[in-house]
């Protein structure tokens, strides 16, 4: 997969499109997009990891809940995340199992950009086109 994500024009908030050859990869790249919007991740070390387990009736709710959990880890636990490993399985519902890695914010080493406050359902799209998964999300900043 060449391009992981791209930022799209939006008047006030953060809008991005993430890509993946699999649904898991598209979700991982959505996480990368959110954290690349918030900070320069080059100086972030993989010193801390968290496991995330979520369940939802559909993919849009699963994506919203996943991004909300990532934003929570940034806002409350002050984690800058840069590695995302996602596994989604569908039984009766969609289940997401993820391990995310990064480190605590250190303002001496980390350059922060904008704060992402929340994922929204506004203009959210999850689709498979020609063997590639594409996700579009608008987040409140």
Any idea what the CATH number is for the domain that residue 125 is in? 3.55.10.10
Domain that holds residue 83: 5-140
- How much is the pLDDT for 15? 96
Select the more confidently predicted residue: 12 or 31: 31
pLDDT of residue 2: 76
What per-residue confidence (pLDDT) applies to 11?
78
d(CA 52, CA 62): 12
Overall number of domains in the chain: 1
Asked if residue 1 has pLDDT above 60, the reply is: no
Q: Which residues contact 141 (CB under 8 A, 6 or more apart)?
A: 12, 13, 14, 37, 114, 115, 116, 117
In tens, the pLDDT along 17-36 reads 999 999 999 999 999 999 99
């Amino acid at each position: 997969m060449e391009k992981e994500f791209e930022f799209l024009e939006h008047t006030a908030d953060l809008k991005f499109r993430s890509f993946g050859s699999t649904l898991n990869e598209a979700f991982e790249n959505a996480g990368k997009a959110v954290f690349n919007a918030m900070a320069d991740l080059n100086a972030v070390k993989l010193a801390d990891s968290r496991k995330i387990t979520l369940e939802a009736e559909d993919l849009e709710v699963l994506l919203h809940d996943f991004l909300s959990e990532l934003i929570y880890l940034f806002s409350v636990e002050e984690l800058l995340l840069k590695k995302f490993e996602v596994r989604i399985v569908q039984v009766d519902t969609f289940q997401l199992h993820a391990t995310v890695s990064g480190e605590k914010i250190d303002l001496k080493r980390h350059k922060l950009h904008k704060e992402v406050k929340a994922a929204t359902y506004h203009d959210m799209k999850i689709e498979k086109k020609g063997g590639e998964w594409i996700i579009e999300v608008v987040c409140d900043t």
